[in-house]
Amino acid sequence: MSNTADLENRVVQYCQDLIRFDTTNFGNAKSNGEIKAAEYVGNILNELNIDYKIVGPDKQRCSVVAIIEGTDKKLPGVVLHGHLDVVPVEKEKWSKPAFEAIIDKNMIWGRGAVDMKNGNAMILASLYKLINNGWKPKRTISLIFFADEEAGGLFGSHYVTKNYPEYFENATEAIGEVGGFSHTLSNGVRLYLIETAQKGLAWMKLTAKGTAGHGSMTNNDNAINKISTAITNLSSHKFPITIKDSVRGLLEETAIAHGMIFDENDPEKVVALLGTLAKLVSATLSDTANPTMLTAGYKVNVIPGEATAYVDGRFLPGNSETFLKEIKAVVGKDISVEAETLDVALEAPFKSGIVESMVNALSIEDPAAKVVPYMLSGGTDAKAMSKFGIKGYGFTPLLLPNDLDFTSLFHGHDERIPISSLQFGARTMHRFIKDL
pLDDT digit string, tens, across residues 321-334: 899 999 999 999 99
What are the sequence ranges of the domains in the chain? Answer: 5-178+380-434, 199-343
The DSSP letter of residue 239 is P
Instruction: Tell me how far apart the alpha carbons of residues 127 and 120 are, in angstroms, rounded to a whole number.
Output: 11
pLDDT tops 50 at residue 346 = yes
What is the sign, positive or negative, of the torsion defined by CA atoms of 412, 414, 418, 419?
A: positive
Is the pLDDT at 194 greater than 70? The verdict is: yes
pLDDT at 175: 98
Q: How many other C-beta atoms are found inside a 10 Å radius of the C-beta of residue 380?
A: 27
64 has a pLDDT exceeding 60 = yes
Confidence class for position 287, pLDDT limits 50, 70, 90 = very high
- CB under 8 Å to 329, separation ≥6 — which residues? none
Confidence of residue 3 (pLDDT cuts 50, 70, 90): confident
Give yes or no for a contact between 78 and 168, defined as CB atoms under 8 angstroms apart: no
With a cut of 80, say whether residue 177 has pLDDT above it.
Answer: yes
Residue 70 has pLDDT above 50, yes or no: yes
* Mean residue pLDDT across the chain: 96
pLDDT level of residue 304 (50, 70, 90 thresholds): very high
Q: Which of 274, 278, 288 is nearest to 378 (CA)?
A: 288
CATH topology assigned to domain 199-343: Alpha-Beta Plaits (3.30.70)
Mean pLDDT on 188-202: 97
Q: pLDDT at residue 32 above 80?
A: yes
pLDDT at 2 over 90: no
**How many angstroms separate the CA atoms of 45 and 65, rounded?**
10
Cα 13-430-428 angle, rounded to 5 deg = 95
Q: Distance between CA atoms of 280 and 165, rounded to whole angstroms? A: 33
User: What percentage of the chain exceeds 70 in pLDDT?
Assistant: 100
| CA 371 to centroid of chain Cα atoms | 19
CB 178 within 8 A of CB 199: no
Check pLDDT > 50 for residue 1. Answer: no
pLDDT tens-digit map of 372-414? 999 999 999 999 999 999 999 999 999 999 999 999 999 999 9
Decide if pLDDT at 28 tops 80.
no
Averaged over 270-281, what is the pLDDT? 95
Mean pLDDT of 251-256: 97
CATH architecture of 5-178+380-434: 3-Layer(aba) Sandwich (3.40)
| 133 — pLDDT class (breaks 50, 70, 90) | very high
